[in-house]
Amino acid sequence: MSGILETKDLTINFGGHTAVDHVSLSIKEKELKSIIGPNGAGKTTVFNLISGQLKPSAGQVYFKGKEIEKLPPHKRTKLGIGRSFQITNVFPNLSVLENVRLAVQSKENIMYNMIRHFKYFSRLEDEAMGFLEKVQLDKKADHPAASLAHGEKRKLEIAILLALDSEVLLLDEPTAGMSLEEVPDIIELIKEIRDERDRTIILIEHKMELVLNLSDSIAVLFHGKLLADGDPEDIMKNEQVQSAYLGGDIADA
């Protein structure tokens, strides 16, 4: 038990299909680990099992040595596992600022106050604004989230996650569907967070070239199984990975 987050023989079946099959991962504290794999490899499902959207059919998830696979999502967030979603998952009819403010409210533990006006806690809005500046959305703070372009929604997703200030960040394809010119900004932002070295990041990515320079270690999933796990160089050299992943998906892309 050396990692801050570990999975042991994590398995989930949907009907007869095993989407995640005995996956054992260990994520060291304050490292950036990428999980890569072709479509349908089970990357997002692993995330859903770690963050609690799904309960495993078998196997365990440990956070700081404690078993957490039976906890509901909100408890895992409170423990310090925050996540973003691949399919944009924001509050469409609330303002961009309010989307982030809610995350700050949760982080600040202002949970059950129903007497004060929310603007009484003006520091929450100030803080939320800071995160919007970080992802260059501060000028759209008053717009409803539904009016944002796709790339901007992805940025909002990241701002919400940052606002939670979690020890572990699960980033599910943060650049998915972004236009090419927007991608470097986000990669730069992830680099910044990594270089602060005060939290652990798990990143799901589709495009291998993005994560090679970014990651401390890489895990490769294929058909729900863990194919390889190690340094980026080792992963690059791994023949199984090349035939399964590079051979298939990258060639198509």
DSSP state of 95: B
Q: Count of residues binding another protein (CB under 8 A)?
A: 44
The residues, ordered by sequence, that sit 6+ positions from 56 with a Cβ below 8 Å of its Cβ are 10, 11, 12, 20, 49, 69
Place of tokens 């990241």: 158
- Residue 22 or 107: the one with the smaller Cβ distance to another protein is 107
Q: Which of 34, 77, 175, 200 binds another protein (CB under 8 A)?
A: 77
Helical axes 150-164 vs 96-107, angle rounded to 10°? 20
Q: Is the dihedral of CA 62, 169, 125, 177 positive or negative?
A: negative
Min separation Cβ 202 and another protein, Å: 15
- Residue 110 or 212: the one with the smaller Cβ distance to another protein is 110
Stretch that binds another protein, among 33-41, 108-116, 226-234, 238-246 (CB under 8 A): 108-116
Residue 110 touching another protein (CB under 8 A): yes
Which of these, 12, 104, 96, 13, lies nearest to 56 by C-alpha position? 12
Residue 78 touching another protein (CB under 8 A): yes
- Helices (H) then strands (E): counts for the chain: 10, 10
Number of Cβ within a 10 Å radius of residue 6: 19
CA dist., res. 141 & res. 97, Å (int): 5
The site map against another protein for 130-169 (x = CB under 8 A) is: ------------------------------x---x-----
Q: Which of 39, 93, 209, 253 binds another protein (CB under 8 A)?
A: 93
Q: Which of 2, 16, 17, 117 binds another protein (CB under 8 A)?
A: 117
CA dist., res. 124 & res. 108, Å (int): 8
Number of Cβ within a 10 Å radius of residue 16: 5
- Residue 104 or 241: the one with the smaller Cβ distance to another protein is 104
Stretch that binds another protein, among 1-9, 79-87, 198-206, 225-233 (CB under 8 A): 79-87
Residue 109 touching another protein (CB under 8 A): yes
Task: Count CA within 13 A, CB hemisphere, residue 243.
Answer: 3
Min separation Cβ 122 and another protein, Å: 4
- Residue 111 or 180: the one with the smaller Cβ distance to another protein is 111
Q: Which of 2, 17, 111, 195 binds another protein (CB under 8 A)?
A: 111
The residues, ordered by sequence, that sit 6+ positions from 212 with a Cβ below 8 Å of its Cβ are 218, 232, 236
Residue 83 touching another protein (CB under 8 A): yes
The contact set with another protein (CB under 8 A) reads 51-53, 72-74, 77-78, 82-83, 85, 89-94, 98, 101-103, 105-123, 126-127, 160, 164
